[in-house]
Amino acid sequence: VRTLIVSDLHLGGPAGADVLRKTELSAPLLDAVRDADRVVLLGDLLELRDSAAGDALELARPFFEDLGRALSGAELVLIAGNHDHALVAPWLARKTLRQAAPLGVEQRVSIDSSPILRKLAQWVSPASLEVSYPGLWVRDDVYATHGHYLDCHMGITSGERLMIALSTHMPRLRPPRRRRPSSHQSGPHHPGSAPQPHLPGPARGGPHSVDEYEAAIGSLYARLDTHEALRRFAYSRVPARLGMLLAGLSHEQLPRAERAAMGEVAARLGLGNAYVVFGHTHRAGPLAGEDPSRWQGRDGARLINCGCWLEHALHSRGGAPSALCVMVEGNEPPVLVGIEVPLAAAPKG
């Protein structure tokens, strides 16, 4: 079985970021899809924040129709990220309302829970669409998730992360927490003991389960989807620069901090030493020649970042420009694969 994992397409996003609308550039991806038994779209597939959802969807429609034809019998699994969290928000809301069992790391999301998912399913037919959240066990030892949970352990290094820090440390603004599953407990918390105070910093504070991650980010994402001013603040440089200064982080140290944060998420979700494939930061790796120990999480998770399908191609210097994806085949370790892209067709600027 060959699984192809592609992340951060941001379809329908601002001009230039959404290059897959150009058929010359989607062709290499569709070719790669034809050779796969299963395709995982690893979140931030659609840009549902920056434009009215309807616009992004209509812009992305031809791509989904092409994708459906290219799949020809292969499985398609969609995982939501922060920019398209709206895809799973209605399903999550229903779960929370029912006070169902704690959310696991891999859950099938019903297509009927969202009108957008129903549309996507129609467009990719006859291929069948499955939605998994917050991630998917690709294999017993390979877990794939978008990676937006890492923002909960990054401190104030962007406007969006500042807002997450605020919602994490202001308990009264959060919905009530459900009991966490005992297998996911870590740290000094014991059943029956008094709740531990939330301490800042990745070591103790912040979420420890899928429910708690969703409590920290869910309502913020919903607000970002609907408030343009908030969105502008989330992406502005001022809070990012100020936060980095206060955290004593240089721009060069940010990727390392992001990997540590993803390793922290893997540890808190109980993923052990699994391979953990993620995207979100658009920083692909480990790249050829890079020390693999730099990509190891606190609990031994082996991290792999798919990067952003075309951003890498647009910024690659020297050699043939390539887009990146992760391939999981047989019992081999997952590998980061470059796929050649006709860069001349890329939009300028």
H/E run at residue 257: helix 254-268
Listed ranges 37-45, 151-159, 269-277, 301-309: which one lies at the site for Mn ion (CB under 5 A): 37-45
Listed ranges 24-32, 200-208, 276-284, 328-336: which one lies at the site for Mn ion (CB under 5 A): 276-284
8 A C-beta contact, residue 107 and residue 133: yes
* Contact status: 84 vs Mn ion (CB under 5 A): no
How many chain residues interact with Mn ion (CB under 5 A)?
Answer: 4
Q: Whose Cβ is closer to Mn ion: residue 85's or residue 268's?
A: 85
Among 68, 81, 206, 239, contact with Mn ion (rule: CB under 5 A): 81
Strands (E), the chain: 2-6, 38-41, 75-78, 106-109, 129-139, 142-145, 275-278, 302-305, 322-329, 335-340
Distances (CA, A) of 120 to 64, 82, 89, 106, 123: 7, 18, 16, 21, 5
Listed ranges 42-50, 206-214, 231-239, 311-319: which one lies at the site for Mn ion (CB under 5 A): 42-50
Among 7, 26, 82, 158, contact with Mn ion (rule: CB under 5 A): 82
DSSP-derived 3-state class of residue 129: strand
Q: Whose Cβ is closer to Mn ion: residue 82's or residue 158's?
A: 82
Q: Whose Cβ is closer to Mn ion: residue 230's or residue 343's?
A: 230
8 A C-beta contact, residue 28 and residue 19: no
Q: Whose Cβ is closer to Mn ion: residue 41's or residue 71's?
A: 41
Residue nearest to Mn ion (CB): 280
Listed ranges 88-96, 199-207, 280-288, 336-344: which one lies at the site for Mn ion (CB under 5 A): 280-288
Q: Whose Cβ is closer to Mn ion: residue 45's or residue 105's?
A: 45
Q: Whose Cβ is closer to Mn ion: residue 43's or residue 243's?
A: 43
Q: Whose Cβ is closer to Mn ion: residue 68's or residue 135's?
A: 135
* Contact status: 85 vs Mn ion (CB under 5 A): no
Query: Hey, which residues between 43 and 72 contact Mn ion (CB under 5 A)?
Result: 44
The sign one gets for the Cα dihedral 160, 42, 184, 98 is: positive
Q: Within 10 A of 99 (CB to CB), how many other CB atoms are there? A: 8
- Report how far residue 54's alpha carbon sits from residue 82's, in angstroms, rounded to the nearest whole number: 18
Instruction: Supply the minimum distance, in Å, between the C-beta of residue 282 and Mn ion.
Output: 8
Cβ within 8 Å of residue 101, ≥6 positions away: none
* Contact status: 280 vs Mn ion (CB under 5 A): yes
Query: Hey, which residues between 231 and 250 contact Mn ion (CB under 5 A)?
Result: none
Instruction: Supply the minimum distance, in Å, between the C-beta of residue 309 and Mn ion.
Output: 13
Instruction: Supply the minimum distance, in Å, between the C-beta of residue 82 and Mn ion.
Output: 5
Amino acid symbol at 348: K
Strand partners, 135: 145
Please state the φ and ψ torsions of residue 329, each to the nearest 5 degrees.
Answer: -135, 130
- The torsion of the CA quartet 235, 236, 239, 242, rounded to 10 degrees, works out to 120
Instruction: Supply the minimum distance, in Å, between the C-beta of residue 56 and Mn ion.
Output: 15
Which residue, chain included where needed, has tokens 């930061």?
281
Instruction: Supply the minimum distance, in Å, between the C-beta of residue 23 and Mn ion.
Output: 25
Q: Whose Cβ is closer to Mn ion: residue 71's or residue 116's?
A: 116
Query: Hey, which residues between 148 and 187 contact Mn ion (CB under 5 A)?
Result: none
Q: Within 10 A of 257 (CB to CB), how many other CB atoms are there? A: 18
Q: Whose Cβ is closer to Mn ion: residue 49's or residue 302's?
A: 49
Q: How far is CA 29 from the centre of its chain?
A: 19
Which positions lie near Mn ion, rule CB under 5 A?
44, 81-82, 280
